[in-house]
Structure 1
Amino acid sequence: MSKYALLALDMDGTLLDDDHVVSQETANAIAEAQQAGVTVMLSTGRAIQNALPYAEELGLNGPLIVVNGSEIWRNPQELYMRYLLDRDAVQQMLNLSEKYDTWFWAYSTKALYNREKWSGEVDQEDWLKFGYYNEDVDVLSSILAELQAIGGLELTNSALTNIEINPAGISKASGIRTVCELLGIEMSQVVAVGDSLNDLAVIQQAGLGVAMGNAQDAVKQAADVVVASNNEHGVAEVIRRFIL
């Protein structure tokens, strides 16, 4: 029997290959882990509606962490906890997108908005996450400095070209700690796998923190082990080497 009880998987760049597909080898390994009694869950920056099809495809009926921990679902049908961004901060983030003429996206509890699809009223909706995309590192650095000055925000990324913003203290790590409480297990019994800064805290806190071969350098340095890339079935490697 595995000493690990929970396998928490990031999606983009981890579970999914570059075509956003779960390989058959990875799907088979996940099924084997579940048959061995290990809870397998998604831990993603995506919203619930973007994560659910993959959970259903893999037969995952337990907890989910979505929007980087701003929502914790007890199971695919039942929301357990939700954490919201301050609306004044969201308005400031929107203003920054205009100041720096940059692409942005924002998850509310109602919809996903972006620069080209913005019909949201900041004061009328509940906001889960905000993000910026820009290939100019200097622009991203300037935005990051202004976000730090706003305060009360958790700042990470899911790629070197973006910034992701959640309420302060809210992350995949905080979400998975809550899931551990729900399941009656310890963080030492968790295997967490990811590739970006929004995975960093949970990789540091899990019993086994795993970086994908395609992970950002900071994530690889923090991880206990590095496995193959998302295009080379790295998640299947994790399961077969450390769980089964």
Structure 2
Amino acid sequence: MPIRLIATDLDGTLLRSDMSVSERTRTALDRARAAGIHVVPVTARQPHGVRMIAEAAGFTEYALCGNGAHGVHLGTGETLFEAYVTEAAQRSIAGALSKRVPGVLFVSVREGGQVFVAQEGYAEMAHFEDHKRHPAEMETFRLDDVLAQPSLKFIVRHPSLTPRELLFELNALKLPGFAVTHSGAPFLEVLAEGVSKAWGLAKLCELLGIDHSEVLAFGDAPNDAEMLAWAGRGVAMGNAESEVIAAADEVTLTNDDDGVAAVLEHLLGQAAWG
């Protein structure tokens, strides 16, 4: 089947380590779009974080944000779909995990990613790169306020435990009603039950009339694994984590070596760069 849609993660995949889009990568993306192929960022970022690099990457159409929970058209601002973590699931997580792992803190991301409700003490742990938001500008709230409304993404963070360690503790509780992943950032990302990048990509492809066999997907982090397994052709970056490589059909170069561009050049029958 021909490729009709390219789905690409951003951080650690399309972007170099300095957060730039290389000239080689931009050229490959433009040639794919000129060939009539949709190029869709599929990211843990919220829309404002995608827009920070949209001009450099040439993104003007569809984007899947919040690990697939939020489909949006960047040009029109239209929301295609959203999936929210329930208040009940959030309260269950916060209550049980706080007892099991004292010191854990939470954030609720709401309303298309525009509202960021962080628990008191969270800003002191955060850096701009975590959420593409300046910690000094984060308004902080009591835990009850964080849990008071459903979330597009519910963030769980501990000052000393790694995301993998925190995931082990959360999974040990065997709580129902949500999905959880991590993207390489220093926290867990809780989503509505059943939601993943694969889920969001399937929703978009259904809207566009595209079969999964016509999708080429790129990723590097654990939150990309399901998407690479779902796509007709899943490509792990050379810097990808082991579970992502296991889910992929093939491995390309690292993000700093323009691994996405290398695959697209071959796909489009172009000569190698340089």
Structure 2 length-normalised TM: 0.80
Give the 3-state SS of the residue equivalent to 1:41 in structure 2: strand
Q: Is contact 1:65-1:73 (8 Å) kept?
A: yes
Which sits farther off after the overlay, 50-59 or 204-213?
50-59
Matched, 1:142 2:169: yes
Give the 3-state SS of the residue equivalent to 2:13 in structure 1: coil
Instruction: Return closer, same or farther for 1:54/1:105 CA change in 2, 3 Å cut-off.
Output: same
After TM superposition, the runs of 4+ consecutive aligned structure 1 residues lying more than 6 A away are: none
Matched, 1:190 2:232: no
Matched, 1:119 2:141: yes
Shift of 1:137: 5.0
Shift of 1:235: 1.1
Shift of 1:189: 0.4
Shift of 1:125: 3.5
Shift of 1:103: 5.3
Give the 3-state SS of the residue equivalent to 1:14 in structure 2: helix
Aligned to 2:102: 100
Aligned to 1:23: 22
Q: Deviations over 1:191-214 (max 9, x none)?
A: 010011211111001010010011
Q: Is contact 2:85-2:192 (8 Å) kept?
A: yes
Structure 1 residues 78-97: aligned runs within 5 Å: 78-95=78-95, 96=97
Instruction: Return closer, same or farther for 1:192/1:97 CA change in 2, 3 Å cut-off.
Output: farther
Picking from 224, 233, 257, the partner of 1:208 is 233
Measure, in 1, the Cα distance between the counterparts of 2:201 and 2:166. 32
Structure 1 vs Structure 2 CA RMSD: 2.3
Picking from 216, 220, 228, the partner of 2:245 is 220
Task: Return the index of the structure with the highest Cα Rg.
Answer: 2
Q: Is contact 1:203-1:210 (8 Å) kept?
A: yes
Give the 3-state SS of the residue equivalent to 1:150 in structure 2: coil
Aligned to 2:127: none
Measure, in 1, the Cα distance between the counterparts of 2:148 and 2:178. 20
Shift of 1:58: 2.3
Measure, in 2, the Cα distance between the counterparts of 1:31 and 1:9. 14
Measure, in 2, the Cα distance between the counterparts of 1:198 and 1:184. 25
Measure, in 2, the Cα distance between the counterparts of 1:205 and 1:173. 6
- Structure 1 gap segments, 5+ residues each: none
Aligned length: 241
Instruction: Return closer, same or farther for 1:181/1:94 CA change in 2, 3 Å cut-off.
Output: same
Instruction: Return closer, same or farther for 1:104/1:211 CA change in 2, 3 Å cut-off.
Output: farther
Which sits farther off after the overlay, 71-80 or 10-19?
71-80
Q: Is contact 2:4-2:214 (8 Å) kept?
A: yes
Which sits farther off after the overlay, 3-12 or 156-165?
156-165
Give the 3-state SS of the residue equivalent to 1:159 in structure 2: coil
Q: Aligned residues: percent identity? A: 32
Instruction: Return closer, same or farther for 1:100/1:210 CA change in 2, 3 Å cut-off.
Output: farther
Q: Is contact 1:191-1:206 (8 Å) kept?
A: yes
Q: Is contact 1:4-1:243 (8 Å) kept?
A: no
- Structure 2 gap segments, 5+ residues each: 124-137, 270-274
Q: Deviations over 1:87-123 (max 9, x none)?
A: 1222333443584324554322242344124327245
